[in-house]
Amino acid sequence: MFARLFSASLMLSELRVMFTRRRTWAMLAAIAMIPILLATAVYLSADQIAPGEGPPFLDRVTQNGLFTGFTAMLLAMPLFLPLTMSVVSGDTIAGEAGLGTLRYLLIAPVGRARLLVVKYLATLVFALVGTFVLMIAGAIIGAILFPVGPVTLLSGDVIQIPEALGRMAIVALYTTVSMMGMLALGLFISTLTTIPVGAMTGVLVASGVSQILDNLPQLAWLHEWLFTHYWLDFADILRQPIELGSLGANVILQLGYVAVFGALAYGRLASKDILS
Amino acid sequence: MKAQGQLAIETVGLEKAFGDQKAVAGISLSVPRGSVFGFLGPNGSGKTTTIRMMLGLAEATKGQINLLGYEIPKKVAEVLPKVGALVEGPAFYPYMSGRNNLIRMDSADRNSNPQTREQRVDSALERVGLSNAAKKKVHAYSLGMKQRLGLANALLKPRELLILDEPTNGLDPQGTREVRNLIRSLAAEGITIFLSSHLLTEIEQLCSHVAVMRAGEIVAQGSLNELRSNGQTRLMLVVDQVAEAKEVLKAAGISKTETLGQKLVSSVDRELDVAKLNKALVAKNIAVSELRLENPSLEEYFVDLTGEGFEVVR
């Protein structure tokens, strides 16, 4: 059963296709630019920022460069990160269909379920790489421009640099998990069309709508079901001890989205006539 | 393992409807094993849709398909490794090299051996004459080169059946010749070839059998010889003494003869013994400068079947 659904050889091939594209590298470069721009702007105008002004943590960046990654993640989370995720996930099936390679993969034969599993896992790898790129670029530029030292957490505890780096990795992992639902939604939307740009736009709009709904207090009952609801909760990782409540809820929510949209994507692709 | 019947492809009452339009309207194909089977029809007659159904890419509305003894779409995953195909033109990742594209496609096949992958890819590239362009990105390929790469993709493994949809599309005359030679050599290896084309000359040159599609239906099917016999064989004769030659022909039982200057054209039996006729002519001291049998042109026959018009039928 496992062999029917996964193949290391195909996974490697999928990643090779993804990382051969200049677009993938351009997006990763753009992700890396977020902390770099942020840190540079803060560095050049350090004396003009009053404590508490701007996005959370912004004033802390000047005191400790290790905060650059966290702050950049907060900035990237609502729009830029979902944008790159929608490009990658919207392209999964629609991109192959648009090129015509989908028909050749299917007659190889790749197996429709296996193709979906591998495509999905590849988008997850991209999310992981993207979030780590952001955190690492943040740490590096922060270390270059600002002093680096033990980090004072939101709970007031102080952790040493190695542990702070560990927390940064956990934030990157958490953000990747936060993207799982959206990536699954993107995979499903991608099976609906042969025009990749259409699918990408669809996923991005969905994330925008979800965030707007999350901000309407009248819809409070709906909030915990929205895939964007816990996106900014990675701040809980910056407490001692790490607060697990919303993290756990997020994992369950994201897995729920993966199950639902994974099933829908399979239902759609398995019964679809490939006419592209 | 090879207990399947004599037919490489068999369809019964195969139908595909898009809305209320029938792209394929109940066709029954019988493709014998080892044949080079031409699937001829004008653009838009339903050839590619039929091929898509055979390969499990599209679901038939009605009817049955059997490929190499395997029921489609139920057993499609088992039979596809034995089938190489080119469907509606080649398709590749433009930002990857030709070679990497083939490696990618081979990786998608869970039955293929990763250990022999590179070697199989290289020999497929060599077979279609692309070894020198293997490392070039596909977006730099000409249409003809993409077409060859598509053929290489169909040849990544030893196949029992090749389904080739318009394999010479976009090729220059030399490339066309090479691809046709390649198809001949593949057929000589015993691979059944199902060749769809809108070019009659291509079918005539390559195929042993043919089915003719028109507006979703098969209007003729059989071996090329069977279909040829629907037309009339003609004898072409150029001599110095027309009247005497006519006498000789009459004596040989050929009465319907037209004269065009020094040239005689008569309708004859296709089994006519030309050598014997030549002997008889020479015995009468007639100088023969040309003597040949002209097989009926399939073209005339097919134009009758598929219509002359430039108009799209539907």
Give A192 or B2, the one with higher predicted confidence: A192
**Residue A87 in domain:** yes
List CB contacts of B92: < 8 A, sequence separation 6 or more: A99, A101, B98, B101, B138, B146, B149, B150
Do residues A56 and A78 touch, judged by C-beta distance below 8 A? no
Chain-wide mean pLDDT for chain B?
Answer: 89
Give the range among B52-61, B215-224, B303-312 with minimum mean pLDDT: B303-312
**Tokens representing residue B266 in the block:** 């008569």
Cα of B49 to nearest chain A Cα, Å: 8
Given a contact cutoff of 8 angstroms between Cβ atoms, the answer to whether B17 and B11 are in contact is no
Are the C-beta atoms of B293 and B268 separated by less than 8 Å? yes
Q: Name which residue leads in pLDDT, B214 or B139.
A: B139
B83 in contact with A, Cβ within 8 Å: yes
Q: Does the CB of B56 have a partner CB in chain A at under 8 Å?
A: yes
Nearest chain A residue (CA) to B110: A110
DSSP, res A150: P
Higher pLDDT, B300 or A20: A20
Residue A163 lies in a domain: yes
Task: Tell which wins on pLDDT, A5 or B117.
Answer: B117
Out of B58, B76, B103, the one facing A109 most closely (by C-beta) is B76
B-chain residues near A9 (CB < 8 A): 107, 114
The confidence score (pLDDT) of residue B30 equals 95
Retrieve residue A250's tokens: 């997020």
Residues of A with Cβ-Cβ distance to B93 under 8 angstroms: 17, 20, 99, 101
Residues of chain A with pLDDT under 50: none
Q: Do A109 and B85 touch (CB under 8 A)?
A: no
Contact A189, A203 (CB under 8 A): yes
- Chain A touched by B103 (CB under 8 Å): yes
CATH of domain B7-228: 3.40.50.300
Please tell me the predicted confidence (pLDDT) of residue A118.
96
- Testing the interface with B: which of A107, A117, A276 to mutate, by most B Cβ within 10 A? A107
B45, HSE (Cβ side, Cα atoms, 13 Å): 22
Res B251: pLDDT? 86
Partner residue facing B105 (CB), from A20, A108, A271: A108
DSSP A184: H
Confidence of residue B310 (pLDDT cuts 50, 70, 90): very low
Residue B38 reports pLDDT greater than 50: yes
Q: Encode chain B in three state secondary structure.
A: CCCCCCEEEEEEEEEEEECCEEEEEEECCEEECCCEEEEECCCCCCHHHHHHHHCCCCCCCEEEEEECCEEECCCHHHHHHHEEEECCCCCCCCCCEHHHHHHHHHHHCCCCCHHHHHHHHHHHHHHCCCHHHCCCEHHHCCHHHHHHHHHHHHCCCCCCEEEEECCCCCCCHHHHHHHHHHHHHHHHCCCEEEEEECCHHHHHHHCCEEEEEECCEEEEEEEHHHHHCCCCEEEEEEECCHHHHHHHHHHCCCCCEEEECCEEEEEECCCCCHHHHHHHHHHCCCCEEEEEEECCCHHHHHHHHHCCCCCCCC
Q: How many residues does chain A have?
A: 276
Residue listed under structure tokens 């000359």: B201
pLDDT of amino acid B2? 41
Q: How far is A77 from chain B (nearest CA, A)?
A: 30
Cβ–Cβ below 8 Å for A106 and B56: yes
Render pLDDT for B235-262 as a digit per residue (tens, 0 to 9): 888 999 888 888 888 888 887 788 888 8
Q: Which residues pair with B265 in a beta bridge?
A: B236, B258
Q: Are strands B36-40 and B62-67 parallel, antiparallel or unpaired?
A: unpaired
Of A101, A107, A271, the CB nearest to B85: A107
- In one-letter notation, the amino acid at residue B187 is A
Q: How far is A88 from chain B (nearest CA, A)?
A: 16
From CA A4, how far away is CA A115, in angstroms rounded? 10
- Which residues of chain B are within 8 Å of residue A273 when distances are taken between CB atoms? 52, 57-59
Give the Cβ contact number of residue B217 at 10 Å: 15
Suggest the residue from B57, B88, B149, B157 to mutate for an interface test with chain A (most A CBs closer than 10 A).
B57
Query: A25 CB near a chain B CB, below 8 Å?
Result: no
Beta carbon pairs, A and B, within 8 Å? 91
Residue A228 three-state SS: coil
Tokens for A86, please give them. Answer: 């929608």
| Partner-chain contact B93 A100, CB within 8 Å | no
Q: What is the per-residue DSSP string for A74-100?
A: HHHTTTHHHHHHHHHHHHHHHHHHHHT
CB contact under 8 A, B96 and A17: yes
Residue A21: list chain B partners with CB under 8 A. Answer: 95
Q: Would an 8 Å CB–CB cutoff place A1 in contact with chain B?
A: no
Quick check: A9 and B59 CB within 8 A?
Answer: no
CA distances B279 to A257, B16, B164, B244, B274, Å, are: 87, 57, 46, 14, 9
Q: How confident is the model at residue B144 (pLDDT cuts 50, 70, 90)?
A: confident
* Cα gap B176→B299, rounded to integer Å: 20
CA-to-CA distance for A90 and A186, rounded, in angstroms?
5
pLDDT at A113: 94
The answer, yes or no, to whether residue B80 has pLDDT greater than 80, is yes
For residue B173, say if its preceding peptide bond is cis, omega within 30 degrees of 0: no
Question: Cβ separation of A20 and B109 shorter than 8 Å?
Answer: no
Tally of domains within chain A: 1
Fold category of B233-295 in CATH: Alpha-Beta Plaits (3.30.70)
Residues in A 191-250 with any Cβ partner in B closer than 8 A: none
**Mean pLDDT value across residues B86-102:** 95
pLDDT of residue A107: 95
For residue A30, give the H/E element and its range: helix A22-44
Q: Is residue A275 part of a domain?
A: no
Residues 230-289 of B with CB under 8 A from A: none
Mean local confidence (pLDDT), B117-131: 95
Chain-chain contact of B114 with A107 (C-beta, under 8 angstroms)? no
pLDDT over 70 (residue B292): yes
What does the alpha-carbon distance between residue A254 and residue A264 come to, in Å, rounded to a whole number?
Answer: 15
B128 near B148, Cβ under 8 Å? yes
Q: Which residue of A has its CA nearest to B50?
A: A275
Query: Quick one: which of B132, B207, B83 has its CA closest to B149?
Result: B132
| A7 contacts B77? CB cut-off 8 A | no
- Inter-chain CB proximity A108 and B95 less than 8 Å: no
Residue A80, both tokens: 């830029």
Give the pLDDT confidence score for residue B262 in this predicted structure.
Answer: 84
With CB atoms and an 8 Å threshold, state whether A104 touches B83.
no
Residues of A in Cβ contact (< 8 Å) with B97: none
Tokens of B234: 């003609």
Neighbours of B264 (CB within 10 A): 21
Q: Quickly state the pLDDT bin for B312 (edges 50, 70, 90).
A: low
Structure tokens at B113: 């051996």
Q: Rounded to an integer, what distance in angstroms lies between the CA atom of residue B198 and that of residue B191?
A: 22
Q: Does B116 touch chain A (CB under 8 A)?
A: no
Q: Give the pLDDT of residue B224.
A: 86
Q: What distance in Å separates the CA atoms of residue B243 and residue A120, rounded to the nearest whole number?
A: 83
pLDDT at position B167 is 92
Q: How far apart are CA B81 and CA B77, in angstroms?
A: 8
| Bridging pattern class, strands B36-40 and B192-197 | parallel
Chain A residues within 8 A of B107 when measuring between CB atoms: 7, 9-10, 12-13
Residue A276: inside a domain, yes or no?
A: no
Of the candidates B73, B144, B65, B44, the one whose C-alpha atom is nearest the C-alpha of residue A107 is: B73
Report the residue from B77, B93, B100 with minimal CB separation from A109: B77
Is B91 within 8 Å of chain A by CB? yes
For residue B102, what are the contacts with CB-CB under 8 A and spacing of at least 6? Answer: B121, B124, B125, B149, B152, B153, B156
Say how far apart CA B88 and CA B98 lie, in whole Å: 19
Host domain of residue A6: 2-270
SS3 label, residue A56: coil
Q: Are A110 and B108 within 8 A, CB to CB? A: yes
The Cα-based distances of B297 to A27, A263, B2, B134, B300 in angstroms read 60, 56, 38, 41, 6
B96 vs A: CB within 8 A: yes
* In chain B, domain spans: 7-228, 233-295
